[in-house]
Amino acid sequence: MKNYPHPIIAREGWPFLAISIAVAVLASTFVPGFLSFLAWLVAVFVLQFFRDPPRDIPQGDNLVLSPADGRVIKVERTQDPYAQREAILVSVFMNVFNVHSNRSPVDGKIQQVSYFPGKFVNADLDKASLENERNAIVLKTPRDQTVTFVQVAGLIARRILCYVKAGDLLSRGQRYGFIRFGSRVDVYLPLDANVKVSIGEKVSASSTVLAVLA
């Protein structure tokens, strides 16, 4: 099964893409040369940053899918500060070349959505999870298991977008938000979850299985 949440270019990027192309066209017209080349380079960067391709969604019981593209930077037992429980934390770091559309890792009903203002330190650092600007979603699966996933802003990221609220139902692979220009997503799982990824592994939103719930 594939998930087509939007056209190939994320709607969040349409204004940025339109502006960057307009600037590039004007530069080509009035100041051709190196400045024109730089303007088109910026336009290409904006185009690749806001791409939002369809993804294959693995089928199977109790799968937890990656909510973001990127690289796994943490797999550890820790405290879930949003659901007040011990949990397994899997963190995925996104650089500026990754797709930044965020998708639900599991099916379920949202229990709470909590936004926290904060700093903008490098999202690759441990302290980013609790010090940076972030948006946390606590969800109950159909089997009454709790899964928490947190959008965390980064050094360059200055805007977390979340389109869901408490009481909403989410499907595995469903698009629920976007983070602009570099960030991470933390996923807190039940202690008996069977994690399928390791630190340093590259993952793809909705396509990579992070874990299997017991």
**Tokens in use for 59?**
């089928």
DSSP 11: G
Q: Where are the domains of the chain?
A: 2-49, 59-212
CB 162 within 8 A of CB 151: yes
Q: Residue 19's pLDDT is what?
A: 96
Residue 62: the pLDDT is 94
Read off the pTM.
Answer: 0.85
Q: What is the pLDDT of residue 49?
A: 84
Q: What are 26's two structure tokens?
A: 């004007």
The CATH number of 59-212, from 1.20.120.50, 2.30.42.10, 2.70.70.10, 3.40.50.300, is 2.70.70.10
- List of the chain residues with pLDDT < 50: 1-2, 4
Euclidean distance between CA atoms 40 and 25, whole angstroms: 8
Burial letters 131-159, b for 16+ CB under 10 A, else e:
ebbbbbbbbebeeebbbbbbbbbbbebee
pLDDT single digits (tens) 34-47 = 999 999 999 999 89
Task: Tell me what pLDDT residue 53 has.
Answer: 86
Give catalytic residues, as residue numbers. Answer: 183
Report the distance separating Cα 121 and Cα 68, nearest Å.
19
User: How far apart are the C-alpha atoms of 12 and 179, rounded to whole Å?
Assistant: 10
pLDDT of residue 100: 86
* Spatial distance between the Cα atoms of 61 and 106, rounded to a whole number of angstroms: 10
pLDDT of residue 55: 85
Tokens coding 83: 């659901």
